[in-house]
Amino acid sequence: MNFYRIDLERWSRRPYFEHFMNENKCSFSLTANVNVTTLLQQLRNKNLKFYPAFIYMVSRVVNKHVEFRTAYNQQGQLGYWDQMIPNYTIFHKEDRSFSAIWTEYSSNFLRFYENYQHDMEQYGNKKGLWVKENVPANTFSISSLPWVQFTSFNLHLYKGEEYLLPIITNGKYFSAGKEILIPVSLQVHHAVCDGYHVSMFINDLQMLADRCEEWI
């Protein structure tokens, strides 16, 4: 993984970054329904699971846009990672707890799916918050609430004013006529992302779902 520092003096976004980091610190979230009708059918046809496919799609979109890879490194320097790795939650039915697992990202879906399966076999039954050690610095968060069809979702990061990476949460998919939709929430820091970037994320995610035959 490589981290590229941003030169504030030459950064075109500097006025916006300084405004939303110093004068009016804020993050914001947007929730949209993504049509997964075709995606679910293709996954069923190939006996593949939805959750790793969702993680893959989200990771692919995050890695496509530098705005979703912008962060502070461990030395407190502002910059962006050349690649992001998903760190996602899994649920334990026995005690209703959850754990976070990270899986090495690959732009090749089947390779990523294999990485996911390997991690689930090794860590899926382990209990605790961080069950896979040595979490890379270039990870971002994905969580799932498959029990509720929510219309909005927002995290309140106390003392997290400098957390610049996106946080993605999906809910329970539901039927709308002949289509199946799933609510997806994206939370970002306004210092690095605007409404346009959030819109790109949702639109790119929908395009991947619609064209899933090209990558599954």
User: What Cα–Cα distance (Å) separates residue 115 from each residue in 55, 85, 155, 184?
Assistant: 12, 12, 29, 24
* pLDDT tens digit sequence for 5-60: 999 999 999 999 999 999 998 999 999 999 999 999 999 999 999 999 999 999 99
Pair 121, 128: CB distance under 8 Å:
no
What is the chain's Cα-based Rg?
Answer: 17
Average pLDDT over residues 99-126: 97
For the cut 80, the answer to whether the pLDDT of residue 135 exceeds it is yes
* pLDDT tens digit sequence for 143-188: 999 999 999 999 888 767 789 999 999 999 999 999 999 999 999 9
pTM more than 0.85: yes
Give the domain CATH number at 67: 3.30.559.10
Give how many domains the chain has, as a whole number. 1
- Domain range for 121 is 3-214
Residue 190 a catalytic site member = yes
Q: Which of 65, 189, 190, 197 is catalytic?
A: 190
